[in-house]
Amino acid sequence: MELLELLPDRETMYRAFEEKDASFEGIFFMGVRTTGIFCRPTCPAKKPKFENVEFFPRTGDALAAGYRPCKRCRPLEPKGSFPSWLSPLMSAVEEDPSQRWTSQDIRDFGVDPTRVRRWFKNEHGLTFLSYLRSRRLGQAFLRIREGAEVMETSLDVGFDSVSGFCDALRKRTGISPSSARKRHSLHVSQIASPLGPIIIAGDSEAIYLVEFWDRRMLETQFEILEKRLGAIFFPGTNPCIQNMEMELNAYFEGRLKRFETPIRFPGSPHQEKVWQTLIAVPYGETRSYAALSKEVGNADAVRAVARANGENRLAIVVPCHRIIGADGDLTGYGGGIWRKRYLLALEREASKS
């Protein structure tokens, strides 16, 4: 199937651009004939006339048609990745997350601190310094859970005093350091994908969440993990998250058909049975909700099975996108029908090779 056939209709895409609908990120790019530029759906530029636009499924298609990338929305940069001007600084942060950064340190990387702050506020809703502080707290939290002393830990991660560390931890998590050993901490990272940013949460042993950043249930999924695991979330990464990122990249390139990174999906016995059954649906194939119910072992519980399918918090990895209506309609996907169509088409094409 041609990628053009996977696009929504022109009216839907034009309306998505008009409304700056982030759920269409990665689905299409819009070329403006009167200016010769192409944009992503959330570009802040003024809306052009309907008759002056055309749509493309990939940036390469827009470039081949003679359009140049918009300087405002930068469509050649995957949404969710660090822009090129910020990447050197973030690489340094990853090398030593405990370092305390000053404005002069940031300038030494050839970057304006105000620009960094503005980018983090726009993309993540917090300042760069707040991000670094959360990273240091996350490191400290993990070490305390493993038995490290509070005083030693607070100094190692860059806090001037134990009291300052304890105050920061209480504000961030609502608990004291002495209670930290009883809690389950999860790192949370954002990666870029052809379908927009993906949020990954996991510890050093397994991944607990893989979800599109704009899904309405995302906040609810975090709350569920917090209640079921006693979990606290901190920005950062770990080998498990890095492995999942590599596997997702390989999946989107059509090179991976089965995920191997350990996953965990705590839920009710019914939910866990549905999710385990979903994993067994072969790559490149689909099942109806009724067929899935039979495989779960309760043919009369189609509605309950469909609900559990929608409550899956490991998008793509636990392939709820492979479940469709009995008539073939692509119904019921939390990430959006357009993403579901993209994923199924990707798998069909990759299965032919």
DSSP assignments along 235-283, one per residue = E---HHHHHHHHHHHHHHTT--SS--S-B-----HHHHHHHHHHHTSPT
CATH architecture of 245-352: Orthogonal Bundle (1.10)
User: What pLDDT is stored for residue 165 in this prediction?
Assistant: 43
pLDDT at 27 over 90: no
User: DSSP character for 21?
Assistant: -
User: What pLDDT is stored for residue 67 in this prediction?
Assistant: 84
Band of residue 136 on the pLDDT scale cut at 50, 70, 90: low
User: What pLDDT is stored for residue 141 in this prediction?
Assistant: 55
User: What pLDDT is stored for residue 152 in this prediction?
Assistant: 45
Domain with CATH 3.40.10.10 in the chain: 3-69
pLDDT at 6 over 50: yes
- 157-188 pLDDT per residue, tens: 444 444 444 454 455 555 555 555 556 778 88
pLDDT at 235 over 60: yes
Task: Over range 117-143, report the average pLDDT.
Answer: 69
pLDDT at 1 over 50: no
CA distance 275 to 279: 7
140-144: long-range pairs with CB below 8 Å, 24+: 140/165, 140/169, 141/169, 141/173, 141/180, 141/183, 141/185, 141/232, 141/234, 142/185, 144/177, 144/180, 144/181
Question: Any catalytic annotation for residue 320?
Answer: yes
Which of 13-27, 72-86, 158-172 is least confident? 158-172
User: What pLDDT is stored for residue 163 in this prediction?
Assistant: 46
User: What pLDDT is stored for residue 137 in this prediction?
Assistant: 63
Query: In this structure, what token pair is assigned to residue 331?
Result: 């119904």
- 102-116 pLDDT per residue, tens: 888 888 888 888 888
- Strand pairing of 231-235 and 207-212? unpaired
Band of residue 240 on the pLDDT scale cut at 50, 70, 90: very high
pLDDT at 144 over 50: no
| Cβ burial, residue 111 (10 Å; 0-12/13-18/19+) | middle
List the catalytic residue out of 70, 73, 240, 320.
320
CATH of domain 3-69: 3.40.10.10
Query: In this structure, what token pair is assigned to residue 96?
Result: 């030593």
- DSSP letters along 149-176, please? -HHHHHHHTT-S-HHHHHHHHHHHHSS-
Question: Angle 302-310/269-279 helices, nearest 10 degrees?
Answer: 80
| pLDDT, averaged across the chain | 79
pLDDT at 19 over 60: yes
Domain with CATH 1.10.10.60 in the chain: 78-182
Percent of the chain with pLDDT over 90: 22
Q: Which residue matches tokens 């970057």?
A: 111
Which of 49-58, 76-85, 132-141, 204-213 is least confident? 132-141
Percent of the chain with pLDDT over 70: 79
CATH architecture of 78-182: Orthogonal Bundle (1.10)
Band of residue 351 on the pLDDT scale cut at 50, 70, 90: confident
Domain with CATH 1.10.10.10 in the chain: 245-352
